[in-house]
Each structure stands twice: as structure tokens, then as C-alpha cells.
Structure 1
Amino acid sequence: MKQQNLKTWFKSGSPWVWMTAGGVSISVIMTIGLLTLIAVRGLAHFWPADVLEAEYRVPGQEARVLAGELVEAEEVPRARLADSGLPVDVNGGEFMTRELFKVGNRELYGADFSWVVKEWLENSRKPSNLVVLERREWGNFYGYLLGVKESGRVVAEGDAAWNELQARIERANELHGQVAHLEQKEIGQINYALERLRLKTRSLELAGKLDAVAQADLDAERAQWDARYKELEAKLVALQQEFNRDSMLVRSVDGRELEVSLGKVVRAYQPNAMGTADKLGFYGSKLWEFVSDEPREANTEGGIFPAIFGTVLMTLIMAVIVTPFGVIAAVYLREYAKQGALTRIIRIAVNNLAGVPAIVYGVFGLGFFVYVLGGSIDRLFFPEAAPAPTFGTPGLLWASLTLAILTLPVVIVATEEGLARIPRALREGSLALGATKAETLWKVVIPMASPAMMTGLILAVARAAGEVAPLMLVGVVKLAPALPLDGNYPYLHLDQKIMHLGFHIYDVGFQSPNVEAARPLVYATALLLVLVIVLLNMSAVYIRNHLREKYKALDH
């Protein structure tokens, strides 16, 4: 009886339903677990951790004082420590604890991180007046504030130095913003105009139209820009002098003193003296800096806004390019092409293209788009810029086109499936009322298939935004802080190279000279990339659902 019931249960298909549900549940749990791991390790990086100061006494050596943030700890066999040259008693316990500290002070110690044996740390403490300096270069500094100087003269010492330091750091940061704006915007605009003027001169020269009148006009315009440049240059020199006016005297925990220019300091804080509210405020400011600022210190510090902007802009341009081409190809294959062996071969080829490795598309984009098409555009439209390439080099346009080719099969297949689901009766009814085939297609078929088109676009965006391999060949670089969208004509610079979140993760995680400092940023950037893709997809899903509701009545 039990055997009969078991056979009936298997024939009912219930086991396969439960297996499918179990597989989906495991996939969801693994996805949530992965995202949680990325979020915890990435977001924890911005929390102002307490700084520990202790005496590190290696057996047989003189004790030294160190201070830093505890990054991680691990149990290590004593034999392994002994093999590394440390004076470890191998007859003790089996394991010892090894801790990784972020000690900063790179100009003093040569490295930002140091491994220590926990059992050799003595007199551990967390001084409330220990200062952490986050600098634009050379990483963090850990030590004590001695005084604040203005133009080489001490203006504050002791307890009054801290408030004076905060006020002057705020002033220095404001001046840094003014200097950056002057260099990147105003002077950058002049340099851009002078370069366009040079190209115009060369173009007239090649065309044989550079006569005395044209040369005089060009010289007059160049003189105006040169005069404006000299004014801004004088203003910049004055700002830089003000920017570098203040400095601070600090002492490391091992007693060494040095002077640090406040122009090199982003912020100074005392994590051991901060309460929960202060740490939350600091945490929010660091998160905002991460998503809104430019990178520094070989991409291991600062923000990643250029990478966010480049990823979103490239994906949007890709969507604008791939959608019409994919829809047109699908409409032709479904509505106009004769359904036969050739059409089936084309569909098989389209489906197979979806499985081609992404790097192959990158090689194609480099060979065809950059060298052939870009080189031809340069010869035809930009001969005055030769031998420097304009479009004959990797850039935003070629990266977007390469991703469009990569995701084109997805849009074609999804659109074809949407067209196939539209009842034939709707087409015949439209034709019976006097509409032409083109009118039926434009006003009935395509609007009803638009949710399927959006589905294809969603899949295309999800794949394109996370691709890295082809982009390394066709336009994405390690550092490009200048955005491809600015106030200089033609405003959107399709020939400019960009940063990308996916490539940023690869570069920081595998090419960084400071691996330990870069590791948390890998998790933080990966989380941000997931959020960007989710945001783009949710926008497309909202549009798809709106279109689905709009044309739902026609399905009935």
C-alpha cells in the first residue's frame, strides 16, 4: 500500500514541485547572503573605528609603541610564525593570534598596514586625544596634535588647538574647492577653446584659406583667451598661496614630530572621543563623499562619482542605440520576412550570438569601431587633428556601441516573442477597418508588444551594466575624473574615455598597489554597482508595467 502511494505521489509531480521550490529557495538565500556579505564588508569601511595604542614587545627586541585601527584577526599555528622568522616558542600552545592593524603614517613606516602578534601587545589603551588625519596623499596619519601654525607662526597650542584646527581645515577645503573649480572649469574651458582655435587654424591651412584676414581674426581671438588666462592664472596663484598658508604640528605615537600642510588634509577627527551620534554623522559624510567625490590615492580613497556617471551614461546611450535596432530586426523577422529555412537560420544565429564571450565583442569593437570606423571618421572629418586621433581611439561612443552589439540578440528575441503573442485577429481586424499594414504595425502591434520590448531592454541593461572585459578594450580607463558631459561644445563628448564601476572593481581589487586599503572599497563599489543596476532595471520595470496596464484591454 505504501509503495502504491509512493508511486502515485511521484506520478502526481509533487516531488518535482518541491525540488523546484527548494532550488529557488536556495538560490534566493545564497543571493541574499552574498549581498549581505558585500554590504556588511563594504559599508563597515566608512565607520570611524576606535584607534588602539599599545606597546609591542617582541621577545628579545626593544618594545615599540604603535597605534592603529584593528582590521582583522586570525588564529595562526605557532610553527608557521616561527617559519616566518619570529622568535616564537614552539613548545607553547598550538595557535597564536595574529592581528592586522592599519597604522598609517606611510612617510614614517613605509606601509599603511602591519601584522602583529596579539600576545606580544602590552598596555593597550584608547586615548581620547589621539588624532586621525585623513589626507589627500600618503593615506591616514595617527598621532597627537601639538599646535596649529599660520605662515610659519604658531597660532594655537594645547586644548585650544583642536577647535582652531577644525576651523582652518574647513577653510582649506573651501579653498581647495575653489582651486579645483578654477583649474577644471574656468581654465579648462580656456584650454578647450584654445585647442579648438588651433584645430580651426590647421583646418583653414589645409583648405588653403588661411589668408591674412583669417589669421588676424584668429590671432585676435587667441589674444582674448590668453588675456583671460593670465587673469585666472594670477587668481589661481593667489588662491594656492592662501590654500597652503596653514599647517599643523603633530607627533606620532613613537615620538617623532612633523609638520603637515592643512592643504593636504581632508578631515581630522578623534574617533576614541566620538559618541554614537558623532560617529553616525561622520559615517553619513563618508558615504556621501564616496558617491559624490572623485577618487584619490590610486583609487583607494575618496569617491567614485566619475565611475557612477560613466556607467549610467554609457548604459543609457547603449539602450538608446540597441532598442530601435533590436525592434526593427525583430519586426522584420516576424512581420515581413518569409518564414522559411533562411529565417530559421538567422534566428539560430541570433540565439547563438547571445552565447558569444563578451571579450570577443570587445575585440570586434576595437578592430571595427575604433580602428576602421573611427579611423575613417578622423580622416574624413578631423584631418586637422592628425596625427592625434579623435574618434580613432577608444571612447564613450565605441564602448556604448560595443555593448549595443553585445545585447542586441537579447532585445531581438524578447521583442519577437512579444510580437508572436499578439492575436492574429487584432491584425486582421485593423486591416478590415481600412488600415494599411504599416499603420497596423505602428498603431496596434508595436504598442501591444512594447512590454516585451521593455523586458528585452531590462535584460540588456542588466547584462551591459556589469560587463567589464570588452570595455577594457573600447573606452574604459583606470582614472578619468573629467566627465564626458560638461559645458563645452558639443557638451556630450562621445570621443572621451570614461570610468566604469565594473572596471573600477577590477582595478582596485587586482591592480591596486595597496591591496589591504583597497579591499573594503571592492565590496563597497560592488554593492553600489548592484544598486545602480537595480535602479536602472526598476525604472524599466515601472515603464513596462505601465505599458502592460495601458494595453491590457486590447488583449481581451
Structure 2
Amino acid sequence: MFEQDKKISLRQWFKDGEAFIWLNAAAVSVSVVAVIGLLLLLAVRGFGHFWPADIMQADYQLPNSAAIRVIGEVVESEQVPVEQIRGAGFAIAGNQPFVKRSLIKQGNRDVTGLDFAWVLNDYLSNISYPETLMAVERYEWGNFYGYLTGLKQAGEPVAQADDKTLWQDFEQRIQRAAGLHEQIKQIEKSDIGKVNYQLERLRLQERGLELNRSLSASKRAQQKSDIALERAALDSHYQVLQAQLLALYEQVNRDSFTAETMGGEQVEIPLAHVVHAYQPNAMNVIDKSWAYALKFWEFLTDEPREANTEGGIFPAIFGTIMMVLLMSVMVTPFGVIAAVYLREYAKQGPLTRTVRIAVNNLAGVPSIVYGVFGLGFFIYFIGAELDQIFFQNALPAPTFGTPGLLWASLTLALLTLPVVIVSTEEGLSRIPKALREGSLALGATKAETLWRVVLPMASPAMMTGLILAVARAAGEVAPLMLVGVVKLAPSLPLDANYPYLHLDQKFMHLGFHIFDVGFQSPNVEAARPLVYATALLLVVIIALLNFSAVALRNHLREKYKSLEM
């Protein structure tokens, strides 16, 4: 009797739908836990990279081998089977099934040839963390680890009273070199960049005069004379900037430092190659927190270097946001217009249903197909025609007939257009017919009803479509590889030169940056933390863009809620 009642109760539980409620709740819970776990993994593996880790010094001696000194950061440790180690040619004593090994970031790639090395923990001895060990972040060759032994100015040693005074002088000279680097960067990228832009503009004007056969000889000669005078002034200004640049390079190359590596070698490194230097073993938590904040800020605001495995990712952040904003501006009006026509004006019949089916099918087309279409139609066809009509002076060098920001934004706008159309049309279909009839009864035209009543009430649905479009477009990589994104483009498509926003310029993208650093990097171990950090940053940017759109949608929904009741 009890078993029968239990079966009836279980059958009733499924019949009432409670089983599906619990199933949905479990699915949502698993999804939330998975997302939170993924974000935590990205945060720990990525953002932990910027914390100044202590530097270990130890003696390392394998059986039947000479002892060597090891200096570096312990990146990770793992247990591996002994047979695997023996198979690699190491003579491991004992009968233990597993041995522990650690990955040491030893730096000094210009000296040892490798940034990282695996060591067996059982053969490490005399492990210590001397406070005088330093880590030097460089523009090239990665980090340097060792002991500071001296400073040189113009090739002559600089006398120091003690190690503390030596380190303070070292930091001051690094700050001096950093200030000179900023001046050099200002002249190279801003001042000389403006001169080069003006010289290129004059070259195109001169080229235009050669192509323009309608000008008289005297007028052409006069314009060429004006161009020559302007070019002479620019050349003179360029020479002044070049002289300033050479003087700054002489100043920044004045100082150098000598250091001792883990092998006991003495090396001399110019301070012009140094980004930062610190002694993490002598730093407290506050000092490390400050260093962490500085390194993380540089990661967000600096340009990449060392094949994208060092430096920052600001050009990729800027390119991603700029592309998404342009895509949003392009896709929203076209998507809304198409949805309004299909719902409000088109005669509902087989043709309209066929168009809706085609729109829905477009949403499932692989993104790489859109990239091929954008390359063939936008770049090779439209871009080439624009060059022939408006940029003949620059030919055969293409202006818009090459991948760039405009074509990437248009391609992603085309990719996300079906999402906006479907969402907007769904919003239009939910607006009560009585509101339209009431507006028409009060004397409004159909266009006025659409503009003042229907579209404002459907704006939350439009925002929903835009949110979905932004979420998909910001993470797309495959089509962008064909229509504008590149591995390295430190020059931003927005600057002080007319027309200020250069839609023809190639750009960097966070999604492609993750692919390039993670799978194309020559230094996988050094690039791995940056992959995690960049991936989390991409998720955060997409979330911020979506939250902004959601806030606007909720505001519009509250604003027009009373009209729906």
C-alpha cells in the first residue's frame, strides 16, 4: 500500500510540473557555479601575474652532475611519475612513484636562452630569499634576475657608499630614463607623426596636380611652388625634431648598470632598456600592493611589446570598444527599419514569411562566412571603387580597398542584423492594436503613430536586440581576421590628425589578441598569464557594455509601462 501511494505521489509530482521546476533550478545553479568558477580561474591565473613574487635562490644538483645556482620565481609545482622523469634521461634514485617538480621563471633570456626551467624539488638545497635579489623588467629579452653590483655613467663607474645607497641611486636613474622615454615617445609618435602626416598630404596634393590635366601650366606651377614652400618648412621643422630626438637618445643611453647572474657572470645592461626594477624579497605587503597596482595599470594603459607577451593591451581595448560602438550605430537603424517594414507595412503573405525565414536562417550562418563576404564585397568591391572615385591620388596604394575599422564594423553589423530584426519585430508585435487605433482616431497619421507611439514603446525590445548583438560581436574573432584586425597596431585609429577617426586604419582586438598570445606566441609560458588576464578583461568589457544597455532598456520599460496597461 505504501509503495502504491509512493508511486502515485511521484506521478503527481511529475504531472504538476514540479520536477521540471527543480530540473531548471538545478541547471541554472550549475550554470551560475560554472560561470563564477571560470571567472575566479581567470582572475587568479591572470591577475595574480602582476603580483611581485618573491625570488628564490637555491643550489640544484642532480645525481652525477655538478651543482648549479638557481635564481628565479616559482611559477607552479606539480607531481609527475618517476618513470616520466627517468624517460627524459634523468637518473632518479629511490622507489617513490612520484616526484615533485617546480617551474622556475629564471629570466635572463639573453644570457641563458630560456626564460623558464623545470627543477626537481628533491635536489634543491640551501633555499633562501636574499633581500638584495632584484627583478628587472626590460623592454626586450624579458625579466632579468640577479644582484646589482654597480652603476656606470658615460662608461665610468659611479662610486657608492653601500648597497642601500646604490639601490636608491639605481631607482632615481631608472626614473630619469623613464622621463626621457616619455619625451622620446612624444616626439616620435606625436610631433614627428604630425609632420609625416602633413608631408604625406602634400605628396598626395602634388600627385593630384599631376593627374589633373584641366589646370593651366601657370596655375599648376604656382600650386607646386606653394607645396614646395610648405614642404621646405615641414622639412626644417623635422630636422629640429630630429636633433632633439638625437639629444634625448644620447641622454637616455648615458647610464648603465652591472649585475651578477645566477651563474656568477657579470653583465652590463643600459638603463634605457629598463622599465621597472624592484627587490620583492625586501618589500612588505603595502609595497607589493602598490607595485601590483602600478603594473596592472600599465597592463591596461600601455602598448604591447615582446611579441605581445609583455607590456599592456590598451590598443586592443580601444579597438574592441570602438568597433562595437561603430557596429551598434550601424546595425540599430537598419535592423529597426527592416523590422518596422516587415511588421507595419509589408503585406503579410508567403513572401513576407519567406523573408522572415531567411532572416532567422542568417542568424545561424557561421561567422567566418560573413568574414569572407566582407572581404569580397566590402573591401575588394566597394572599397576598391571608393579608391578609384575619391582616392586616385594615393593609388596604387589602397585606402579603403584594404581591411580596416570601417569594414570590420560593417561585417559585424551584418552578422548581428538578424538578431536586431527579430527582437524589434517581437517587440512591435506585443504592442496592443488598440493603441494604434486610438492614435489614428485622434487624427495622427500612420507615420506619426509609428514614430510617437509604437517605436517608443518598442524601444526596450530594440535594446534587447542591441544587447544580444553587442554580446556576440565583441567576442567574434574569425571574421575580423579577414576584414581589419591585426596582431600589432600601436597607433590608434583616433588621433589629432584630420579626419581624426581613421576608418580605413587596421586595429587590434581583444579576442584576436587572446588567440595570438595563446597560440602564436614564441614564449608560451610567459604568455599564459596574459591570456587569462586578457580573457577576463574581455568578459568585463562585454559585461559593462551589456549592463549599460540593460540599464537603458529598464529605464525605457519603466517609462512606457503605463501606456501598456
Contact 1:246 1:261 (C-alpha < 8 Å) held by counterparts? yes
Matched, 1:265 2:268: no
Which of 61, 64, 75 in structure 2 is aligned with 1:57?
61
Partner in structure 2 of residue 423 of structure 1? 432
User: Could you tell me which amino acid in structure 1 is paired with residue 158 of structure 2?
Assistant: V
Residue 249 of structure 1: SS of its match in structure 2?
strand
- Alpha-carbon deviation of 1:152? 1.2
Matches within 5 A, 1:354-393: 354-393=363-402
Residue 58 of structure 1: SS of its match in structure 2?
coil
Contact 1:42 1:524 (C-alpha < 8 Å) held by counterparts? yes
Matched, 1:69 2:70: no
- Alpha-carbon deviation of 1:185? 0.4
Whole-Å separation in 2 of the counterparts to 1:182 and 1:511: 32
Matched, 1:147 2:146: no
Partner in structure 2 of residue 133 of structure 1? 136
Whole-Å separation in 1 of the counterparts to 2:16 and 2:482: 53
Partner in structure 2 of residue 183 of structure 1? 188
Deviations 1:155-214 (A, max 9, x none): 243421100011110110011011011100000010011011101110111012372111
Deviations 1:283-311 (A, max 9, x none): 10011001011111111111000000000
Matched, 1:478 2:487: yes
Partner in structure 2 of residue 109 of structure 1? 112
Whole-Å separation in 2 of the counterparts to 1:3 and 1:138: 71
Partner in structure 2 of residue 31 of structure 1? 35
Which of 2, 6, 10 in structure 1 is aligned with 2:10?
6
Partner in structure 2 of residue 165 of structure 1? 170
Whole-Å separation in 1 of the counterparts to 2:339 and 2:166: 70
Whole-Å separation in 2 of the counterparts to 1:434 and 1:204: 59
Which of 291, 307, 318 in structure 1 is aligned with 2:327?
318
Matched, 1:274 2:277: no
- Alpha-carbon deviation of 1:489? 0.4
Percent identical pairs in the alignment equals 64
Which of 74, 77, 86 in structure 1 is aligned with 2:90?
86
Contact 1:156 1:164 (C-alpha < 8 Å) held by counterparts? no
Residue 489 of structure 1: SS of its match in structure 2?
coil
Partner in structure 1 of residue 416 of structure 2? 407
- Alpha-carbon deviation of 1:92? 2.1
Partner in structure 2 of residue 529 of structure 1? 538
- Alpha-carbon deviation of 1:445? 0.5
Whole-Å separation in 1 of the counterparts to 2:509 and 2:204: 30
Deviates more, 1:446-455 or 1:91-100: 91-100
Deviations 1:12-66 (A, max 9, x none): 1111111111111111111111111111111110011101111110111111111
Partner in structure 1 of residue 203 of structure 2? 198
Contact 1:484 1:498 (C-alpha < 8 Å) held by counterparts? yes
Partner in structure 2 of residue 285 of structure 1? 294
Whole-Å separation in 1 of the counterparts to 2:40 and 2:293: 19
Contact 1:306 1:481 (C-alpha < 8 Å) held by counterparts? yes
Deviations 1:259-282 (A, max 9, x none): 111110001100111100000001
Deviates more, 1:92-101 or 1:261-270: 92-101
Q: How big is the alpha-carbon RMSD for the aligned residues of Structure 1 and Structure 2?
A: 0.9
The TM-score normalised by the length of structure 2 is 0.97
Q: Which structure 2 residue ranges, 5 or more long, are not aligned?
A: none
User: Could you tell me which amino acid in structure 2 is paired with residue 362 of structure 1?
Assistant: G
- Alpha-carbon deviation of 1:131? 0.8
Which of 19, 24, 45 in structure 2 is aligned with 1:20?
24
- Alpha-carbon deviation of 1:253? 2.2
Whole-Å separation in 1 of the counterparts to 2:83 and 2:11: 59
Whole-Å separation in 2 of the counterparts to 1:407 and 1:24: 26
Whole-Å separation in 1 of the counterparts to 2:98 and 2:551: 56
Partner in structure 1 of residue 459 of structure 2? 450
Residue 53 of structure 1: SS of its match in structure 2?
strand
Residue 99 of structure 2: SS of its match in structure 1?
strand
Partner in structure 2 of residue 461 of structure 1? 470
Whole-Å separation in 1 of the counterparts to 2:413 and 2:424: 15
- Alpha-carbon deviation of 1:85? 1.2
- Alpha-carbon deviation of 1:373? 0.7
Deviates more, 1:93-102 or 1:489-498: 93-102
Deviations 1:403-433 (A, max 9, x none): 0000000000000001001110110111111
- Alpha-carbon deviation of 1:547? 1.1
Whole-Å separation in 1 of the counterparts to 2:558 and 2:157: 71
After superposition, the Cα gap between the structure-2 partners of 1:272 and 1:388, relative to the gap in structure 1 and judged at 3 Å, is same
- Alpha-carbon deviation of 1:88? 2.0
Residue 384 of structure 2: SS of its match in structure 1?
helix
- Alpha-carbon deviation of 1:490? 0.4
Runs (4 or more) in structure 1 with deviation over 6 Å come to none
Whole-Å separation in 1 of the counterparts to 2:306 and 2:115: 12
Matched, 1:509 2:521: no
User: Could you tell me which amino acid in structure 2 is paired with residue 133 of structure 1?
Assistant: V
Residue 137 of structure 1: SS of its match in structure 2?
coil
- Alpha-carbon deviation of 1:82? 1.1
Partner in structure 2 of residue 237 of structure 1? 246
- Alpha-carbon deviation of 1:3? 2.1
Residue 100 of structure 1: SS of its match in structure 2?
strand
Whole-Å separation in 1 of the counterparts to 2:7 and 2:310: 66
Contact 1:292 1:305 (C-alpha < 8 Å) held by counterparts? yes
Residue 91 of structure 2: SS of its match in structure 1?
coil
- Alpha-carbon deviation of 1:2? 2.3
Contact 1:330 1:415 (C-alpha < 8 Å) held by counterparts? yes
Matched, 1:224 2:221: no
User: Could you tell me which amino acid in structure 1 is paired with residue 16 of structure 2?
Assistant: S
User: Could you tell me which amino acid in structure 2 is paired with residue 431 of structure 1?
Assistant: L
Whole-Å separation in 2 of the counterparts to 1:58 and 1:16: 61
- Alpha-carbon deviation of 1:6? 2.0
User: Could you tell me which amino acid in structure 2 is paired with residue 213 of structure 1?
Assistant: Q
Whole-Å separation in 2 of the counterparts to 1:552 and 1:39: 40
After superposition, the Cα gap between the structure-2 partners of 1:156 and 1:441, relative to the gap in structure 1 and judged at 3 Å, is farther
Contact 1:334 1:420 (C-alpha < 8 Å) held by counterparts? yes
